[in-house]
A and B are shown apart, each in its own frame.
Chain A
């Protein structure tokens, strides 16, 4: 609480952005040195992919009805592995207090972490999706940017809520178990929207019948981008 007067001295949105950017760069630099978030996420994603290929045998059956479900189950599982580790560096070094004590708005920490999650989960999902299409011999009929925009919408919502929940579970010391338990029920609207939109794209190559799902995803994203930083303030409070 003592740092509050310091924080107010030089607030402002530019400073918030600069601080968030600095935290994002720090996380990316850390990842480049020792990929503690991305590497397990990638490995896990590939293993899930292989398990699905072996379990379902896409060569001998029509996987079209189940493919969207498989795709998003994989992405969400891998994403949860990554999100659970977003704060592990801070927790093991005890440097979260340092970040919180810095004369910046706490929302900057949230947005920095949010940006990091967006990059890491986005990278994994962006690699995994084409591979899943390849392994399961699926084709999108419409332009590729449609699927990419669904990925982006889902990714933003997932990471926005994931960052908040990860900050809570990191403090319990059981993040790897607790995070998926808390995050999956919260992301159900995203899963539903993503699966419906992808199924629509695979079947007729457009969002035509599914516009309401796009609105739902956009609403969810917005909700947690606003709610996330507001509540994050309480999560990292030093008592």
Chain B
């Protein structure tokens, strides 16, 4: 049942993500006009914002998976949390790297002590820590339980990172802080959708992979019992 659901999901999400990414590239490079002050550099924004939002989405899923694991005690929720944490770290890294490329010409520096940057980095450390805790424990009930507790605690860094722009007013442009045209808004929406689809596709694929691995493990165990 669950395997079939994942398979159909991946069959739908895969092509959609591909089409979405191509459309996003067209929208970002051709449909959206040059920006008045920054020129073409601003186009990084079409990958930077979607990856940042998707990092939040993934870390939100870590929280959901952790809470559900503690209540339901099903390993699938633990697996969801683990995979979401890895993807969240990936997307946060992408957001920080693309942001850095943008900051070099616009702020004339790769990195500053701006609140948005700092809180994002803290969030990144938090979830890398989450993955390190998992790595330090043997697979099983204890690891799932302790990781779930930490996955719940770690969520406090999300609002901190998300509202940093409003709370401290640093250099980082806030929501609605840039003058954007209708075409730019459309391009942003398309790239947001595309990256979210990609995020979902990766998640489903990796859930499938985890499931196959679990099945292989079970078969191996059965084989061992037959032989032994």
Residues of chain A having any CB pair with chain B under 8 Å: 161, 164-165, 168-169, 171-174, 178, 181-182, 184-186, 188-189, 223, 227, 231, 234-235, 237, 239
Contact = CB atoms under 8 A, between A and B. Distances in A.
Contacts of A171: 137, 142, 146
Contact of A168 (B133, B141, B160): B133
Given A185-B122, A234-B148, A239-B142, A172 B133 contact: yes
B153 A234 contact: no
A182 B133 contact: yes
A27 B125 CA distance: 32
A186 B153 contact: yes
Given A182-B150, A235-B149, A239-B141, A223 B156 contact: yes
A178 B122 contact: no
B205 interface: no
B141 A186 contact: no
19 contacts: A161-B153, A165-B153, A168-B133, A168-B150, A173-B136, A174-B136, A181-B132, A182-B126, A182-B133, A184-B125, A185-B122, A186-B126, A186-B156, A188-B119, A223-B156, A227-B152, A231-B149, A231-B153, A234-B148
Contacts of A234: 70, 145, 148-149
A172 B136 contact: yes
Contacts of A185: 122-123, 125-126, 129, 157
3 closest A-B pairs by beta carbon, nearest first, are A172-B136, A185-B125, A182-B129
Given A171-B142, A237-B145, A231 B132 contact: no
